[in-house]
Amino acid sequence: MKLAAIPIKRPTIVVVLFTILILGGLYSYSRLGYELLPKFSLNLITISTPYPGASSSEVENSVTKKIEDAISSVENVKKIESKSFEGLSTVSLTLTSDADENESLNDAQRKINAIEKDLPDDVDPPSLSKFSLSDLPIITIGATANMEETAFYDLLDKKIKPVLSSTKGVGQITVIGGSEREIQVNIDPEKVKGFNLTLPQVVSIILSSNIDYPTGN
C-alpha cells in the first residue's frame, strides 16, 4: 500500500523516473550497432577458373573434373560441389567444423599448382578464396545485343566494364560468358606433310610468332 501511495502523493518522482528511463533508452538505441548483412565466415573454400570462349561441357571435362580429382585428397573436406558454366568453372569445398580454413586453403592451393600444367593453355590461373558474404555479387546484369559476338564482348570488356569499375563503391566486376576475338588457323594436312612438318611443330611456330614488338613512334 505504501508503494502504491507514492505515485499519488509524489507524482514528480514518477515523472522524473520515467523521463530518465526514456532518455536512457533513446541514448542506448542511438549507440546500438547493427548490420543488415553481418559479417561471418563459413568453412567453405571456392576455386574459380575462367576458361574464356569454352562451352560448359568443355569446361567440365577439361577443367572442373581435373580440379575435383586434385583436391579430393584435401583433409577435413566434408563435401565437394562443382558447377561448369560457359567460360567459367567453380568448385566449392565444404570443410568440417573443426577444420582450419587457412591450412586447408594452402593445401588446396598446393594441389592446384601441381596440376596447372595439365589444364588447357587458354585457361586463366585458378583463384582460391574463403567464403564471405561480402564477396557475393550485389548486382548481376545480363546483356544482349544484335551485333557480332566478338564485337559485343569487346564493347562490354573494354568500354562498359571500365566505366562501371570506376563507380564509387564498386569493388570488382567479372564478365562471364561471351566470345572473345580469336584467330582460327585451318591447317591443310597435305601441305603439312609436304613440308615434312607435324601438327605440334606448326602450333609451336604460331605460338613463337605471336609476339608484340616495340616499333617506336
Mean pLDDT of 156-166: 89
97 or 214, which is more confident: 97
43-64 burial string, b = 16+ CB within 10 Å, else e?
bbbbbebbbbbbebebbbebbb
Express each pLDDT in 184-207 by its tens digit.
Answer: 888 898 888 898 988 888 888 887
Given pLDDT bands bounded at 50, 70 and 90, which one contains residue 63?
very high
34 or 164, which is more confident: 164
Task: Report domain extents, the chain.
Answer: 41-132, 137-209
CA distances from 142 to 10, 14, 59, 87 (A): 69, 62, 21, 15
Mean pLDDT of the chain: 83
Q: Which of 23, 1, 20, 24 is nearest to 12 (CA)?
A: 20
pLDDT at 131: 67
Burial grade of 126 (CB within 10 A; 0-12, 13-18, 19 or more)? buried
The answer to whether the CB of 60 falls within 8 A of the CB of 69 is no
The answer to whether the CB of 156 falls within 8 A of the CB of 142 is no
Express each pLDDT in 104-147 by its tens digit.
Answer: 888 999 999 999 888 888 888 898 887 665 566 678 888 888 98
Helical residues (DSSP H) of the chain, grouped into ranges: 2-9, 11-30, 56-59, 65-71, 101-115, 149-155, 161-165, 189-194, 199-209
Which value, in Å, is the radius of gyration of the alpha carbons in the chain? 30
Q: Flag whether the pTM goes above 0.85.
A: no
pLDDT at 64: 92
**Fold designation for 41-132:** Alpha-Beta Plaits (3.30.70)
Q: Which of 50, 43, 49, 51 is nearest to 74 (CA)?
A: 43
Q: What is the dihedral of CA 57, 117, 90, 175, to 10 degrees?
A: -90
